[in-house]
């Protein structure tokens, strides 16, 4: 499927690196051979079995990046992190840590007390990331003229052809054994081998979005090896795995609801886009860009491109990941009205390009994991009906949020022993679940279901908007997560945190 369709709903990163070798083919826990690879950073690779049922067989090299605890005397242990996707490289997140600036997904306290370990899941990033398509094909996909009036952005027959192209590319260009063993339970077993190689009896874990599914899977498979775990912006495991077509409807509705909130906030704050009616202005801009796209010159490593109506909608969908992007969206919409499409084009391709401007392979890894993890109906009529439902329920985002599971309906690599749980974490310590009342990707109801399904789940609610809460919505959530991961102190049952600061739609200045 075309890259903009494939990635518009899911988060990803890009760069990663690896160096040395750890666990042997048989799964024995040889110490990780770290090598310094940046300020307070170490890199390594760890070999794990491609097929955990065949521990003496072929191996896959997992890429690790570790940020060493900044207060070694108070070090607690290793904190594993997964940013979601599926398909997001965790090593990229660790490499972005800047302790001087206080940036990154972790608070200074967590950075002081833990070695933060990013492990790219098998088939993702530098862990032998799948490459089903070559860069020329990826660039052609990014240049595809998507039609915002058509479900999936393309005629139905063309969507089927794109599904075949992706499947054939994966079969031709990816080790078939790896392609068949990229499910979440495979990654959870990898994580436990890495834990052993690090010499840790237990791990602390923080997962976001899809990373919550990985965390719940690990806690279910290895409950006695969990010290503390926090799951931010969780999925509903049963709906995600057993009814993925319905889950895409949930996500489309969440994104549409967030866009409505953005537009309403724009009116309340008097933001300059749309002169009091930003919804009508957005629709007019989509129509105008679709009729006469803006040419955008190459800049900052990104190639030249075109902003059309589908690109405007894709940019808006990406901006719904969090209120921090709302001022950027407003600025981009105003610029596009004035003839400059660069901001919106950059937003629309944010998940489909690496930081150096090259086309990303995130969509391919994302689809490979999804198709192994999720029970997707083979009947095309189910997908057609779902597309119609999404378009009716989400008039602005629905077309480009349709047919996201179509490739999995005929995925050529089966997963006969799919692990479906229940993901209850039975026997693990209490697990802190953080759900946002309005989350553009993982609805609040999913957080409630995750917390209820865990044997000892504790739900912390965040008011406000955005995908994910920790380090994105103020000190109330941050303090609660830190206190649990560091000290094991849970927030009181029913705790609700405000969003701070309040979201702004005013354009970027300066």
- The per-residue pLDDT for range 327-371, each reduced to its tens digit, is 999 999 999 999 999 999 999 998 888 888 888 888 999 999 999
E strands, 410-491, in order: 431-438, 457-465
Separation between Cα atoms, residue 336 and residue 350, nearest integer Å: 17
- The burial of 283, by beta-carbon neighbours within 10 Å (0-12 exposed, 13-18 middle, 19 or more buried), is given as middle
- The per-residue pLDDT for range 191-204, each reduced to its tens digit, is 999 999 999 999 99
What is the pLDDT, as a whole number, of residue 358? 87
Mean pLDDT rounded to a whole number for the chain: 92
What is the pLDDT, as a whole number, of residue 510? 62
Q: Please check the confidence at residue 298 and state whether its pLDDT lies above 60.
A: yes
- Side-chain-facing half-sphere of 341: CA atoms under 13 Å: 27
Q: Which of 26-40, 58-72, 108-122, 477-491 has the lowest mean pLDDT?
A: 26-40
Torsion sign across C-alpha atoms 103, 104, 105, 111: negative
Q: Which of 17-21, 28-32, 155-159, 465-469 has the lowest mean pLDDT?
A: 17-21
How distant is the alpha carbon of residue 97 from its chain centre?
Answer: 18
What is the pLDDT, as a whole number, of residue 214? 98
What is the pLDDT, as a whole number, of residue 12? 29
Q: Please check the confidence at residue 21 and state whether its pLDDT lies above 50.
A: no
Mean per-residue pLDDT for 469-477? 96
- The per-residue pLDDT for range 143-190, each reduced to its tens digit, is 899 999 999 999 999 999 999 999 999 999 999 999 999 999 999 999
Q: Output b/e per residue, 328-348; b: 16+ Cβ within 10 A.
A: bbbbbbbbbeeeebbbbbbbb
Mean per-residue pLDDT for 427-444? 98
- The burial of 216, by beta-carbon neighbours within 10 Å (0-12 exposed, 13-18 middle, 19 or more buried), is given as buried
Q: Please check the confidence at residue 432 and state whether its pLDDT lies above 60.
A: yes
Q: Please check the confidence at residue 4 and state whether its pLDDT lies above 80.
A: no
Of all residues in the chain, the percent with pLDDT exceeding 90 is 85
What is the pLDDT, as a whole number, of residue 252? 96
Q: Assign 3-class secondary structure to 238-289.
A: HHHHHCHHHHHHHHHHHHHHHHHHHHHHHHHHCCCCCCCCHHHHHHHHHHHH
């Amino acid at each position: 499927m075309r890259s903009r369709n494939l990635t518009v709903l899911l988060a990803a990163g890009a760069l990663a690196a690896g160096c040395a070798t750890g666990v042997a083919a048989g799964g024995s826990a040889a110490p990780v051979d770290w090598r310094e690879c940046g300020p307070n950073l170490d890199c390594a690779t760890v070999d794990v079995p491609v097929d955990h049922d065949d521990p003496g067989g072929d191996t896959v090299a997992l890429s690790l990046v570790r940020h060493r605890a900044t207060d070694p005397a108070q070090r607690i242990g290793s904190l594993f992190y997964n940013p979601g996707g599926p398909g997001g490289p965790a090593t990229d997140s660790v490499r972005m840590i800047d302790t001087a600036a206080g940036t990154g997904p972790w608070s200074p306290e967590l950075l002081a007390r833990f070695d933060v370990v990013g492990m790219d899941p098998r088939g993702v990033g530098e862990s032998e990331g799948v490459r089903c398509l070559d860069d020329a094909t990826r660039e052609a996909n990014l240049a595809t003229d998507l039609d915002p009036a058509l479900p999936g952005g393309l005629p139905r027959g063309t969507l089927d052809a794109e599904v075949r192209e992706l499947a054939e590319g994966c079969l031709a260009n990816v080790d078939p054994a790896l392609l068949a063993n990229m499910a979440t339970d495979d990654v959870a077993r990898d994580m436990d081998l890495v834990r052993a190689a690090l010499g840790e009896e237990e791990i602390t874990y923080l997962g976001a979005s899809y990373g919550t599914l990985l965390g719940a899977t690990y806690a279910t498979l290895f409950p006695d090896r969990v010290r503390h775990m926090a799951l931010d912006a969780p999925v509903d495991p049963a709906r995600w795995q057993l009814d993925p077509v319905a889950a895409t409807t949930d996500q489309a509705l969440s994104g549409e609801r967030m866009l409505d909130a953005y537009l309403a906030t724009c009116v309340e704050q008097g933001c300059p886009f749309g002169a009091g009616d930003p919804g009508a202005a957005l629709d007019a801009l989509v129509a105008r860009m679709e009729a006469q796209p803006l040419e955008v010159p190459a800049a900052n490593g990104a190639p030249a491109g075109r902003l059309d109506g589908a690109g405007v909608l894709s940019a808006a969908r990406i901006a719904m990941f969090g209120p921090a992007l709302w001022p950027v969206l407003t600025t981009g919409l105003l610029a596009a009205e004035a003839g400059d499409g660069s901001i919106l084009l950059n937003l629309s391709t944010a998940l489909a390009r690496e930081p150096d401007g090259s086309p990303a392979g995130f969509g391919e890894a994302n689809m490979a994991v999804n198709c192994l993890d999720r029970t997707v109906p083979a009947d095309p009529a189910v997908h057609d009906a779902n597309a119609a439902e999404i378009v009716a329920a989400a008039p602005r985002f629905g077309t480009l949020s349709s047919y996201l599971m179509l490739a999995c309906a005929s995925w050529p690599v089966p997963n006969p022993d799919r692990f479906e749980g229940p993901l209850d974490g039975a026997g693990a310590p209490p697990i802190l679940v953080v759900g946002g009342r309005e989350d553009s990707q993982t609805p609040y109801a999913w957080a409630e279901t995750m917390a209820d399904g865990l044997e000892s789940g504790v739900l912390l609610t965040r008011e406000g908007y955005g995908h994910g809460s920790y380090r994105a919505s103020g000190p109330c959530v941050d303090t609660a997560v830190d206190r649990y991961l560091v000290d094991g102190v849970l927030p009181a049952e029913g705790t609700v945190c405000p969003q701070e600061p309040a979201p702004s739609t005013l354009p970027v200045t300066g």
